[in-house]
Chain A
């Protein structure tokens, strides 16, 4: 295999990794907010269900969750899964796992907003939805940014877990080539990729935090 073919393969793996990352964030950030509402619900049943869900997601390895999501439909439920299910399984597993982590982050942020903010908004006539969107959420976002940054950086590295179900992302590809060519080079390339990816994430989040630093 010439170096060009190798880089091309690595490049396509890179693309898949980035896609897993983007799709996971796109779905898990809003889903996490929804889950955090469930976790704080007045309804005891909803509260218990979300609590159990969060505890399972955080208490078991993501790799195991990936395997379950990928194999359960065919093995347990005897369903015929479509060819593209591998990638879908990766996204589903990542989204439900990360939503659980984000839910707890949202919850801690929401609970740290003083009651007076809600009361001031209520007296001024804001509806509950307006209060949450205009008054509470912007303050929550500022508070949780550092924790969210941590999660996002972990996610970049976690995308390599898709290797467990042979999804051809960066790490999987690098390992394949490396084994076939008896060369450590592809793995080095992968390492550099993850590092640069995270560098970009960290700088971006730093900028976002700066945007929010105009008030205390």
Chain B
């Protein structure tokens, strides 16, 4: 089954068309990377998919449930309750983590489980502890975000997203705010997740990583999908524009 299906998505900021007719779907267990130059609309696409931004045109459904449909060329969203409920299907990992600074690592992970998903405190803590140990952060449960390195903070934010047991996990440049050494530890975690068949959509500038981890790579430019395929297909494409872009970022 398609976990997420978006068709003919369009999005304007004022008069600029940032997304133009993007159609996209993802199957369970698939890992998709999105690459493309700055300003091509990658973040906007992710923000539409995670409902941080409302799209203007096109439709979107999670697991066959409609979040919005297109009527007379305009996106019409489902009721607020319905949309709120659909948030359980996805998680988002931000470029700059966005952990809650006043909460400990443990509370960052458990608080929404308890106060949003109404899971018992004990179970939430168990879930968090299991994830923290899986991500090598067991000793940091009581630390505050400001006491962690960027790489550790990003791993906590991944744990926070995973604790909700989403069907799809989105990443918007998860390592762009990190030093190279710290980048490695975060990429390792994402690769681990890919191995366990977590469905993921990753916006990234790390070409080598995209190549290794993805089942499919999408090249976006000027608000449209200019090319997509398996990493082999896309990285060895005849399309010179894509080749140039990939070449530049791969540093060769």
B and A form one assembly? yes
Would you give 22 A-B contacts (Cβ < 8 Å), ordered by A? Answer: A114-B98, A116-B94, A117-B100, A119-B52, A119-B98, A120-B98, A120-B99, A121-B100, A123-B52, A123-B87, A124-B164, A125-B88, A125-B116, A125-B164, A126-B115, A126-B116, A130-B115, A134-B111, A139-B102, A214-B144, A215-B145, A215-B146
> Is A30 at the interface (CB under 8 A from chain B)?
no
A/B pair count, beta carbons within 8 Å: 58
Q: For this complex, into which size category does the number of interface residues on chain A fall?
A: 20 to 34
How many whole Å from A142's CB to the nearest CB in chain B? 7
> With a CB–CB cut-off of 8 A, which chain B residues contact A130?
115-116
CB of B144 within 8 A of CB of A119, answer: no
> Is A138 at the interface (CB under 8 A from chain B)?
yes
How many whole Å from A139's CB to the nearest CB in chain B? 6
Query: Residues 54-66 of chain B: 1 if any A CB is under 8 Å from the residue's CB, otherwise 0?
Result: 0000000000000
Query: Residues 167-203 of chain A: 1 if any B CB is under 8 Å from the residue's CB, otherwise 0?
Result: 0000000000000000000000000000000000000
> With a CB–CB cut-off of 8 A, which chain A residues contact B90?
123
Asked whether A216 and B50 contact (CB < 8 A) given A126-B115, A134-B111, the answer is: no
Query: Interface residues, chain A, CB within 8 Å of chain B?
Result: 114, 116-117, 119-127, 130, 134-135, 138-139, 142, 214-216
> With a CB–CB cut-off of 8 A, which chain B residues contact A216?
101, 146
For the complex, what is the distance from the CA of A125 to the CA of B115, rounded to whole Å?
A: 9
Query: Residues 84-111 of chain B: 1 if any A CB is under 8 Å from the residue's CB, otherwise 0?
Result: 1001101110101011111000000001
> Is B117 at the interface (CB under 8 A from chain A)?
yes
For the complex, what is the distance from the CA of A205 to the CA of B236, rounded to whole Å?
A: 64
Q: How many residues of B contact A (CB 8 A)?
A: 27
Chain B residue at smallest Cβ distance from A139: B102
How many whole Å from A76's CB to the nearest CB in chain B? 47
CB of A123 within 8 A of CB of B116, answer: no
> Is B112 at the interface (CB under 8 A from chain A)?
yes
> Is B42 at the interface (CB under 8 A from chain A)?
no
> Is B160 at the interface (CB under 8 A from chain A)?
yes
Chain B residue at smallest Cβ distance from A123: B92
> With a CB–CB cut-off of 8 A, which chain B residues contact A134?
111, 115
For the complex, what is the distance from the CA of A213 to the CA of B111, rounded to whole Å?
A: 21
> With a CB–CB cut-off of 8 A, which chain B residues contact A138?
102
